[in-house]
Structure 1
C-alpha cells in the first residue's frame, strides 16, 4: 500500500474512534484545538533560538566578505551574496518563530505578535526557501557549464551541442547573474506574498477575537496551521516547481559526475586530477545539504494537504477531548519546515569550507591567517572570471578559487 494511503488510513482510524465535531468554516472559535506537545513547546523554540544565534552573525559576516572584501565579484559570488541576504532576512525572523511555537497557544488572534507572524514572518520564511531553491539551481547551472566547457573528456558532452553557445557565455557574465538574481527576487516575492496575505487575512484570521460561549480564538489554531482550500491549491504547483528544479539540479550534477569519470579515463586530459576530486566532493556535499534540508518538507506537504482535505469532509459527535486529530501531523510539518530553515544557518559554513576565495578573505578579516595568499587567489579569480572562453588552465583557476562547486 502506498505511503499516502497508509498515513490516511491511520488518521481515519484515529478519527473514527474520536468523538469530535468539526466546526463549520464560519465558526469564529473552533471546538477543536491543536494540542502542542513538548516538540512544539520546547524543541522547536530551542532550535530556532540556536539558529538565530548562529545564522545572524554567520550570514552578516558572509555578506560583508562578499560585498567589501572581494573587490571584483564573479557571477558565483553574486549568487552567493544574494543567498546570504535572503538568509540574513530569515535569521531575523527566527526569534519570532521561536516565540510563536512557545507561546502561540496563549496569544489571541488579534495580538500584535500573532499578526506579525501571520503577515510578516510567514511570507519571509517561504520567500527564503524558494529564493534558495532558485539561486542554488543557477549556481549548479553555472558550475555545470564551466566544467563541461573547460575540461576535456574521452568525447564531448552532448550538452555542449544541445545548449546554445550564448547560454554558456552568459553564465560567465556578472551582468547576467545580477539580472537572474533580480528576477528570482521578483518571482519569489510576487508569487508568495499575495497568497500568504490572502491566507493570513481570509483563512487563518477569519476568527479574530470574537467570543462564542466564553471561547477566544488563539493564534496557534487549526485554521492557522492547516490553512484553507486556496492556499492548499496554490501549494500544489509550488511543490511541482520544486521537484522540477530539484530534478534539473540532480540531472546537472549527474552529467557533471559522468563528465568527470570520462575525464579521468582520458589519457590526454590536462586538467588537474585534484581539481576533479574537489569538484566531485563539493557536488556531493551540496546535493546532500539540498536533499536533507528542502526535500523532506516538499515530500510531506502533499501528504499533509491530502489528510487535511479528508479531515474537512468528515463529521463527528461532540466529546470531552478538544484535541484536533491532525495535531501530530501539524507538528511533523513544522519540524520539516524547521529543516528547511536550518539551511540558512549552515550556508556560511558551507561557503567557508568549499570556496577558497571566501575562506582566505574570511581568515584575513578575522586575523586568523596573517600570511593568507588571498590577494593572489583573488587576482587569479578576477582574470578567470573575465575570460568567457578561457582555456583549461583558466578554467582550473575559475573552478578551484571562485566557486563552491
Structure 2
C-alpha cells in the first residue's frame, strides 16, 4: 500500500457540514425521541403491539442520537488527533457501535411493524368461511402473534440480544485489532474509514440484510394491495375503508423511509468496497465523502422518526395533540 493511497484529506463537507448536521440532528432527535418515549411510557394506558415496537424503536433512536456529538467531533477534529490517542479510539468505538446497533435494531423493528400492520388487515379475513386453510393457518395463527403485546415484548428483547451479540464482537475486533494494525499518524485515515477484511465482509452481510428488510416491507405492501383489489372485486368494503387506508399508509410510510434513508447506503456500500481497491488517492477521498454523507442520511432517520410516529400511530397523534392543548390552555385563560 503506497503512502499516497494511505493519506486521505477531509474536505469542507467532512470538517464543517457533517459536524453541523450531526449537531442539528442530535438536538432535534433527542428532543423529539425523548418526548415520544415519554408519551409512549406514561401517557398511553393500553399499549398495543405497535406501541411496544415503537418504544423500542425510540430507544434505538436515542442511542444513536446520544452519540452524534462524538461523531461530529470526529469529523471536526479527527484529522488533527493522534492515531493512537484515547479519544480517537473511544469516539470511533462509540460512534461505530451505536450507529450499527441502532440501524439493525431499527430495520428489524420496522419489518415487524410492517408485518403487524398487515396482520391487522388479515385479522378478520382469516375467520371468513371463504378463506382457505393455508390462509387460516398463516394469517390466523402466525401473523396474529405479531399483534400480541406479550409476543412483541419478547420479540424486541430477542432483537436487541441478537443484534448486540453479533455486532459487538465485530466492532471490538474492528476497534482493537483492525484499526490498530494501521500505520497512519492521524485518527482520520484510510484504515479507520475502510476497515479490513473482517469488517468489510460484515458490512456486505449487513448490506444484504438491509436489502432483505426492504424486501419484507415491499412484499407486505404488495400483498396488501393485491389482497385489497381482490376484496374490492368481490364485495363492498365501505365500512372498512378507514382501516384499509390506515394499513396502506403505514406500509407505504415504512417503505418510503427505507428507500430514502437506507437504500442509497446499502447500494453504495458494495460499490465502495470494490472501487477503494484502486490506488487512487483522489478517488478514495471522493468515495469516503459519499460514504459518510450516506451514513449521515441513514442516521438522520433516527431524528425524524417522531414525525413518522404522527403518521403511523393515531393514538400517539391524539395524545400529543391533547398535551399541546392542555399546555396552551392556562396561557389562553390568563390572556383572556
Q: TM-score scaled by structure 2?
A: 0.89
For 1:256 and 1:164, locate their aligned partners in 2 and report how far apart those are by CA, in whole Å.
12
Residue 116 of structure 2: aligned partner? 142
Please report how far the alpha carbon of residue 362 of structure 1 lies from its aligned counterpart in structure 2 after TM superposition. 1.5
Q: Does 1:334 align with 2:309?
A: no
* Corresponding residue to 2:172 among 193, 197, 200: 197
Q: Displacement of 1:162 after TM fit?
A: 6.2
Structure with bigger helix share is 2
Deviation at 1:285, TM superposition (A): 2.3
1:188 matched to 2:163 = yes
User: Offset of 1:157 from its aligned partner?
Assistant: 8.0
Partners of 1:207 and 1:239 lie apart in 2 by 25
SS in 1 for 2:90: helix
Partner of 2:259: 291
Q: 1:254 aligned to 2:222?
A: yes
Shift in alpha-carbon separation, 1:193–1:74, aligned structure 2, 3 A: same
Task: Please report the RMSD computed on the Cα atoms of aligned residues, expressed in angstroms.
Answer: 2.5
Query: Retained in 1: the 8 A contact 2:9–2:285?
Result: yes
Paired residues for 1:33-52 under 5 Å: 33-52=7-26
- Higher-Rg structure is 1
1:178 alignment counterpart: 153
Deviation of residue 270 (structure 1)? Answer: 5.5
In the other structure, the counterpart of 1:363 is 321
State the match for 1:222 in structure 2.
190
Q: Once the 2 structures are TM-superposed, how far is the Cα of residue 286 of structure 1 from its aligned partner?
A: 2.2
Does the CA-based 8 Å contact 1:42-1:102 persist in structure 2?
yes
Question: Structure 1 CA distance, aligned partners of 2:303 and 2:134?
Answer: 34
Q: Report matched runs for 1:63-212 at 5 Å.
A: 63-151=37-125, 156=131, 160-161=135-136, 163=138, 165-207=140-182
Give the distance between the partners of 1:265 and 1:282, measured in 2 at CA: 23
Hey, what's the Cα distance between the residues in 2 that align with 1:90 and 1:77? 20
Q: 1:234 aligns with which of 202, 219, 229?
A: 202
SS of equivalent residue, structure 1 residue 163: helix
SS at match of 2:259: helix
Q: Distance in 2 between matches of 1:293 and 1:31?
A: 30
Runs (5+) with no aligned partner, structure 1: 1-20, 24-29, 209-215, 317-322, 372-405
TM-score under structure 1 normalisation?
0.75
Contact 1:364/1:370 (<8 A) preserved: no
CA contact (8 A) 2:217 2:251 kept: no
Q: Secondary structure at the match of 2:29?
A: helix
* 1:122 Cα offset (Å): 0.8
* CA distance in structure 1 between the partners assigned to 2:113 and 2:76 by the alignment: 37
Identify unmatched segments of 5+ residues in structure 2: 330-336
2:123–2:144 CA contact under 8 A, matched in 1:
no
- 1:281-360 aligned at under 5 Å gives the runs 281-308=249-276, 310-311=277-278, 323=281, 325-360=283-318
For the 8 Å contact 1:79–1:135, the answer to whether it is kept is yes
SS at match of 2:226: helix
1:61 aligns with 2:35: yes
CA–CA separation in structure 2 for the residues paired with 1:281 and 1:76: 14
